[in-house]
């Protein structure tokens, strides 16, 4: 079964162009920049097929990539998370609530979690959602975190953290997910490369 999943991942990868970094975003929580990459349909380079979000791994220099297969559903779900985050942050503020941990009731699309150890590892089809947390400092954050196990080896696992510490920060991230601009950037890079024959 694990080999079948790995084979399916390779087949899917063949049907899309290689991923390209198109933007980055800043995590205020970790005070670090992370990359956003996309790949396009092989038969239609104007259609983004996959979005890859780099997030924090369990050690300081480790990163993990979240691979979403449906970019429009991903963006739509993230906007729903943003709305609930904004609503709950206001409720907490208005009611002087200082302790809270609760899952945001928005189903994010399934994700493949990817990380590099001595080779690339993948944890396929994970349904992972954000939690709303009020920290001791009073900050109201949302975090997606999980410890996932590699599909190819039950003894290899990885923990990751995707954190937004304000609605404004999440808004800035959503604004970065401008798929038409990504396509434009990919086309410009491709056209520039074509100049050198």
Per-residue pLDDT of the chain (197 residues; tens, 9 = 90+): 455 344 334 434 433 457 899 999 999 999 999 999 999 888 888 888 999 999 999 877 789 999 999 899 999 999 999 999 999 999 999 999 999 999 999 999 999 999 998 899 999 999 999 999 999 999 999 999 999 999 999 999 999 999 999 999 999 999 999 888 888 888 765 555 555 56
Q: How far is CA 69 from CA 14, 48, 108, 176, in A?
A: 14, 9, 12, 18
CA-nearest of 106, 112, 19 to 69 is 112
Burial of 4 (0-12, 13-18, 19+ CB in 10 A): exposed
Phi, psi of 86 (to 5 degrees): -60, -45
pLDDT for 180 equals 87
pLDDT for 15 equals 39
Give CA–CA dist 133/172, Å, rounded: 20
Burial of 142 (0-12, 13-18, 19+ CB in 10 A): buried
pLDDT for 181 equals 87
Give CA–CA dist 181/190, Å, rounded: 14
């Amino acid at each position: 079964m694990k080999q079948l999943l790995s084979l399916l991942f390779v087949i899917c990868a063949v049907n899309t162009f290689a991923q390209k970094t198109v933007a980055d975003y800043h995590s205020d929580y970790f005070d670090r920049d992370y990359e956003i990459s996309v790949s396009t349909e092989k038969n239609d380079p104007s259609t983004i097929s996959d979005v890859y979000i780099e997030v924090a791994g369990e050690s300081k220099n480790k990163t993990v990539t979240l691979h979403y297969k449906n970019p429009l559903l991903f963006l739509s779900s993230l906007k729903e998370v943003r709305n609930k985050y904004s609503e709950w942050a206001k409720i907490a503020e208005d009611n002087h609530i200082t302790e809270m941990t609760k899952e945001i009731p928005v189903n994010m699309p399934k994700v493949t979690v990817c990380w590099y150890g001595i080779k690339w590892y993948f944890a396929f089809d994970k349904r992972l959602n954000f939690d709303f947390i009020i920290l001791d400092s009073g900050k109201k954050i949302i975090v997606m975190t999980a410890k996932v196990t590699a599909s190819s080896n039950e003894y290899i696992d990885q923990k990751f953290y995707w954190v937004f510490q304000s609605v404004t920060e999440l808004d800035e991230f959503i604004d970065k997910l401008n798929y038409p601009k990504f396509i434009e950037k990919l086309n410009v890079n491709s056209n520039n490369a074509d100049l050198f024959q």
